[in-house]
């Protein structure tokens, strides 16, 4: 993600601090995530075969990833047979250049966009702006984010952090600069806000000659792309312009049409808690007299092949961007989406961003620690990504360094800065725990000096004692009580057997 949008983000704990202290934001997030999570649980409970669907989705994705080269070539053949053109982009810069060239070739300086995380990941809007091309977001929440000069904070509800009053103010202040202004006397009722957005966007849809989209799925067998959405704005973007450019991550391919059967059940229920999403749009190449006359598919790698090379971490590529993990995550609920410093926030972002971007920056090195490992994300994931497992795996990479693939090459990563003290402490604890005698000596010392213990801790421990009372050290550790009362009778395994 070299789009530049998130460069220089502070580490997660610092970024989260602000959100934790913002009572309104926390209340908004709590209300929104709890509402969606409860609805999701009900929608999932309706299906008696949910566990089998989850397993099927996992297997389809794993199979596809294992043979990704095969299915991508197949997809390319299918798309071109249907009249489309396929472009391969290794990174953000290449993808942005391809798209900008394609737009310039049409002679247009304006494009409409349907929500695409891939284009946000690569910073396409900014790249187009630099080329004199203005990109208009048409998904309602994306529109709010764009008009508000803001960043998305949720995969499904990018403006989840904004309330109705804020949205009304943004519409009143900004719509006029981008096109049709907000109606006079606009209030904050949802119907009026939706109508204002509809009128503003309608003008753009009817004028636009170029549309840019993402896709939820690409079917290798037929060359078909699929977008699921709730508003119908996406369908306008996909059908009205003369040229359609779809920018899609290579992991979105599925082998066959029938595979959609699984995901079109699991995705809407996991994301919006609907049995079926209101709009499912599918497009295959070009057709005379109907829809865009030119179709370009830009297949984006941008770190995905490197991620695929990681045995433990590759499961993150199964993600179908449903956002169920965000809505159940207690950390996301309190830290908000912006703290994750990426278009992919929440638990999935905490494992995806450090893999796509590497762990070199402060924010990326801190993301694997932005979790209490409670496992709620794994439980709700419709493709069974073991997010806690990958988090721990990436923590290892951060503190220990080690082998990884970057830009297609095997490299040896150095440990991230700032973990030396922790590493030393872990090593010391490891040594003490390897010898029961040392542990016992430590416990005894703690017990004997327990009246002298401070109520606050120095160093990193201060973070504990700032908000919580420390436990009192007991007069006698359990093992001393056992020895005193049971005479050290321990079935032959004695303390002397230090190893």
Partner 1 sequence: MRVALFLTCVNDTLYPDTGRAVVKLLTRLGVDVDFPMAQTCCGQAHYNTGYRHQAEPLARHFSDVFGSDAYDAIVTPSGSCGAMVRELYPRMGERARAEGRGDGLARTVAPVVPKTYELTEFLVDVLGVTDVGAYYPHTVTYHPTCHGLRALGLADRPTRLLRAVEGLELVELPGADECCGFGGTFAVKNADVSAAMGADKVRNAESTGAEVLCAADNSCLMHIGGTMARLRTAVRPVHIAEILASTEEEPLS
Site for partner 1 in 352-411 (CB under 8 A): 368-376, 378-379, 389, 392, 394-400
Nearer to partner 1 (CB atom), residue 18 or residue 174: 18
Q: Which residues contact 50 (CB under 8 A, 6 or more apart)?
A: 44
Among 130, 426, 441, 445, binds partner 1 (CB under 8 A): 426
Among 24, 187, 456, 490, binds partner 1 (CB under 8 A): 490
- Complete DSSP assignment for 249-304: EGGGEES-GGGHHHHHHHHHHHHT--SS-SEEEEEES-BTTBS-SEEEEEEE-TTH
Which phi-psi region, left, alpha or beta, contains residue 329 (left: φ > 0; alpha: ψ -120 to 50)?
beta
Segment 137 to 176, residues that bind partner 1, using CB under 8 A: none
Tokens 């394609």 -> residue: 102
Least distance to partner 1, CB of residue 473, Å: 7
Taking alpha carbons only, the member of 420, 398, 401 closest to residue 412 is 401
Least distance to partner 1, CB of residue 42, Å: 16
The count of residues interacting with partner 1 (CB under 8 A) is 77
CB-neighbour burial class of residue 451 (10 A; exposed 0-12, middle 13-18, buried 19+): exposed
DSSP 8-class letter at 244: E
If binding is defined by CB under 8 A, does position 17 make contact with partner 1? yes
**Under a CB-based contact definition with an 8 Å cutoff, are residues 268 and 275 in contact?**
yes
Least distance to partner 1, CB of residue 51, Å: 14
In residues, how long is the chain?
499
CB-neighbour burial class of residue 288 (10 A; exposed 0-12, middle 13-18, buried 19+): exposed
Nearer to partner 1 (CB atom), residue 183 or residue 375: 375
Describe the crossing of helices 23-45 and 260-271 by its angle, rounded to 10 degrees: 140
Segment 443 to 482, residues that bind partner 1, using CB under 8 A: 443, 446, 460-461, 463-464, 466-471, 473-474, 476-479, 481-482
Task: Annotate 219-257 with b (16+ C-beta within 10 A) or e (fewer).
Answer: bbebbbbbbbbbbebbbbbbebbebbbbbbbbbbbbbee
Least distance to partner 1, CB of residue 175, Å: 36
Least distance to partner 1, CB of residue 357, Å: 18
If binding is defined by CB under 8 A, does position 83 make contact with partner 1? no
Among 52, 433, 441, 449, binds partner 1 (CB under 8 A): 433
Nearer to partner 1 (CB atom), residue 176 or residue 460: 460
Least distance to partner 1, CB of residue 283, Å: 40
Q: How many CA atoms lie within 13 A of 231 on its CB side?
A: 20
If binding is defined by CB under 8 A, does position 23 make contact with partner 1? no
Among 275, 423, 448, 484, binds partner 1 (CB under 8 A): 423
Nearer to partner 1 (CB atom), residue 194 or residue 433: 433
If binding is defined by CB under 8 A, does position 190 make contact with partner 1? no
Nearer to partner 1 (CB atom), residue 267 or residue 348: 348
Nearer to partner 1 (CB atom), residue 287 or residue 490: 490
The encoded tokens of residue 487 equal: 């005479």
If binding is defined by CB under 8 A, does position 331 make contact with partner 1? yes
Segment 226 to 245, residues that bind partner 1, using CB under 8 A: none
Rounded Cα distance between 87 and 299, Å, is 6
Nearer to partner 1 (CB atom), residue 117 or residue 394: 394
């Amino acid at each position: 993600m070299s789009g530049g949008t998130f460069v220089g983000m502070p580490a997660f704990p610092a970024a989260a601090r602000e959100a934790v202290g913002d009572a309104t934001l926390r209340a908004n997030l709590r209300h929104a995530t709890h509402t969606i999570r409860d609805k999701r649980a009900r929608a999932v409970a309706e299906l008696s075969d949910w566990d089998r669907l989850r397993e099927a989705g996992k297997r389809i994705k794993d199979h596809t990833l294992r043979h990704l080269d095969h299915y991508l070539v197949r997809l390319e053949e299918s798309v071109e047979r249907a009249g489309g053109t396929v472009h391969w982009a290794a990174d953000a810069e290449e993808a942005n250049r391809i798209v900008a060239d394609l737009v310039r070739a049409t002679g247009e300086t304006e494009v409409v966009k349907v929500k695409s995380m891939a284009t946000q990941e690569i910073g396409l809007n900014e790249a187009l702006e630099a080329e004199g091309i203005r990109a208009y977001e048409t998904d309602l929440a994306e529109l709010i984010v764009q008009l508000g000069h803001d960043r998305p904070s949720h995969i499904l509800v990018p403006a989840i952090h904004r309330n109705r009053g804020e949205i009304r103010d943004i519409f009143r202040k900004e719509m006029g600069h981008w096109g049709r202004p907000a109606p006079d006397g606009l209030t904050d009722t949802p119907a009026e806000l939706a109508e204002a957005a509809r009128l503003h966007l309608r003008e753009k849809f009817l004028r636009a000659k170029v549309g840019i989209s993402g896709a939820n799925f690409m079917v290798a067998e037929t060359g078909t792309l699929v977008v699921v959405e709730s508003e119908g704005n996406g369908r306008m973007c996909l059908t009205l312009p003369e040229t359609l450019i779809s920018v899609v991550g290579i992991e979105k391919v599925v082998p066959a049409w029938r595979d959609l059967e699984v995901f079109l059940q699991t995705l809407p229920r996991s994301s919006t808690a609907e049995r079926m999403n209101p709009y499912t749009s599918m497009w295959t190449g070009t057709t005379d007299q109907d829809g865009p006359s030119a179709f370009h598919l830009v297949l984006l790698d941008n770190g995905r092949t490197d991620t695929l090379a990681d045995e433990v971490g590759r499961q993150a590529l199964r993600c179908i961007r449903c956002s169920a993990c965000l809505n159940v995550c207690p950390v996301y609920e309190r830290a908000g989406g912006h703290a994750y410093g990426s278009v992919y926030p929440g638990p999935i972002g905490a494992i995806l961003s450090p893999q796509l971007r590497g762990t070199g920056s402060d924010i990326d090195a801190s993301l694997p620690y932005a979790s209490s490992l409670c496992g709620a994300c794994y439980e709700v994931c419709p493709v069974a990504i073991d997010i806690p497992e990958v988090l721990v795996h990436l923590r290892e990479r951060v503190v220990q360094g080690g082998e990884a693939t970057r830009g297609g090459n095997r490299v040896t990563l150095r440990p991230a800065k700032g973990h030396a003290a922790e590493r030393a402490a872990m090593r010391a604890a490891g040594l003490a725990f390897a010898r029961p005698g040392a542990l016992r000596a430590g416990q005894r010392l703690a017990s004997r000096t327990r009246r002298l213990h401070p109520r606050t801790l120095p160093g990193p421990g201060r973070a504990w004692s700032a908000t919580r009372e420390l436990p009192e050290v007991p007069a006698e550790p359990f093992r001393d009580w056992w020895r005193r009362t049971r005479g050290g009778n321990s079935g032959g395994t004695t303390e002397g057997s230090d190893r």
